[in-house]
Structure 1
Amino acid sequence: MNVTLYGATGKTGQRILKELQARGHHVTAVARDPSKLPAGVPAKQDDLSDVDRIAATIAGADAVVSAYAPPADDTDQVLGVTERQIAAIAKAGHARLIVVGGAASLEVAPGVTLLASGHLPAPWVAIATSHSKVLDLLKTSSIDWTYFSPAAFFEPGERTGKFRLGKDQLVADAQGNSRISLEDYAIALVDELEKPQHRRERFTIGY
């Protein structure tokens, strides 16, 4: 599969790149500064500011994975980026878009999201709000999309291959802990690319 990966230099993007390569997929890694990418990885430069450039960058891709992370002081930049990615995919052909999403739009009780619950730490409210809007943008688009929400705690860890998947409810263990390693998240994302189960919907993961 030909996959174009945005945000390949970030913590999540690095793990997704490694997982895709390990499974034999052809990955084109895209970054604002391609010099930060591992040697030998096919790379392109793009800052996601122009629809036509994005369309040219993803031409020929079967799937586009967006692990883009906006600046902490302007999290709504992810909205413009998503709008341009949607437009570029519509323009370039029929590539599928998988977005590395957020957990705060997941329900922690019937009809109550983590964001709305009031339990989200204040520093995370801005990015959580922006990512909730990203999901809304995707839902109103006409492209083939998937939004993949991690667990509440999403950190580097072990690649175990043992996890649970869900849809719109936060996945937590019997003690109420919701966590997933970046490595296991990458496994599930590539699984979804290889055997689609969640087209035009959100899904999530946790232990």
Structure 2
Amino acid sequence: MNIGIIGATGWIGSALMQEAQRRQLPVTALVRDPAKITGELVGRVTTRVIDLEQGIDPQVFEGIDLVIAAVGGRASGQHQLVPQSAKALLELLPNTQVKRLLWVGGAGSLELAHGHTLVQSPGFPPEYKDEALAQGEALEVFRVSDSAVNWTFVSPAAEIYPGASEGPYRIGGDKFFTDEEGRSRISVADYAKAMLDLVDTDDYARQRISVAY
């Protein structure tokens, strides 16, 4: 199976690329700036240019069976790029050979016990609020879509941080959950593992799942 990773040079995208390489999976980096593909990845991965702000050329997905999309608007301040890209991919991918779309989601839309979402809680960091709301809009785009693409929206834990694997992770659904210490956390390496574990399965079709310890 050939995998295309949108945003492959970003923080999470880079971890996804590394995990795909570790598993020796055929992978194509779909990036705006190919010059950012550096180090050991040079010459080892196929690179194609995609600029979500300028529209998507369907030819960029030629030969790709599954797309993992790590889309963010924080760097440019264009948070609406997130739901807009979700909508564009859901509309475009059925006209390509891509059959599966795995989306790097956010934790802010996870549901708390009292019925509100995490982003609505008083202690939610304000610097991440716009990003979280944009991911919540993207989730709604997925939920109302009738696209033929088999999508899965994968929310990380509230704390996703740099670091190596720390052991087994758990899969949840829409509900926010924590570990025995009351923390919601996952290393970026284990989030990438969870995402790549979905490649060879059709589990969680057209669902949002969450990943945490």
Q: Classify the TM-score, shorter chain.
A: over 0.9
Q: Is the 8 A contact 1:28 1:42 kept in 2?
A: yes
Structure 1 runs, 4 residues or longer, greater than 4 Å off: none
Take 1:203 and 1:30, find their aligned partners in 2: how far apart are those partners?
24
CA deviation string 1:5-44 (max 9, x = no partner): 0000011111111111221211010111011113012100
In structure 1, runs of 5+ residues without a counterpart are none
Name the Cα RMSD after superposition.
Answer: 1.4
- TM-score under structure 1 normalisation? 0.93
Give how far 1:59 is off: 2.3
Give how far 1:94 is off: 4.3
Q: Which residue of 1 aligns with 2:14?
A: 14
Secondary structure of the structure 1 residue equivalent to 2:199: helix
Q: Which residue of 2 aligns with 1:135?
A: 139
Q: Is the 8 A contact 1:95 1:144 kept in 2?
A: yes
Q: Which residue of 1 aligns with 2:55?
A: 50
Task: State the one-letter code of the partner of 1:102.
Answer: G
Take 1:176 and 1:44, find their aligned partners in 2: how far apart are those partners?
42
Q: Is the 8 A contact 2:152 2:208 kept in 1?
A: yes
**Matched residues, percent identical?**
35
Match of 1:187 among 178, 193, 207: 193
Q: How do 1:190-205 and structure 2 match up within 5 A? A: 190-205=196-211
Check if 1:3 corresponds to 2:3.
yes
Give how far 1:110 is off: 4.4
Take 2:124 and 2:22, find their aligned partners in 1: how far apart are those partners?
35
Q: Is the 8 A contact 1:161 1:187 kept in 2?
A: no
Q: Which residue of 1 aligns with 2:69?
A: 66
Task: State the one-letter code of the partner of 1:31.
Answer: V
Q: Which residue of 1 aligns with 2:86?
A: 82
Q: Is the 8 A contact 1:59 1:92 kept in 2?
A: yes
Check if 1:172 corresponds to 2:175.
no
Give how far 1:174 is off: 2.3
Q: Is the 8 A contact 1:100 1:149 kept in 2?
A: yes
Secondary structure of the structure 1 residue equivalent to 2:136: helix
Choose 60-69 or 89-98, whichever is displaced more.
Answer: 89-98
- TM-score under structure 2 normalisation? 0.91
Choose 69-78 or 4-13, whichever is displaced more.
Answer: 69-78
Q: Which residue of 2 aligns with 1:27?
A: 27
Task: State the one-letter code of the partner of 2:191.
Answer: Y
Take 1:45 and 1:6, find their aligned partners in 2: how far apart are those partners?
10
Q: Which residue of 1 aligns with 2:119?
A: 115
Q: Is the 8 A contact 2:174 2:210 kept in 1?
A: yes
Count of aligned positions: 205
In structure 2, runs of 5+ residues without a counterpart are none
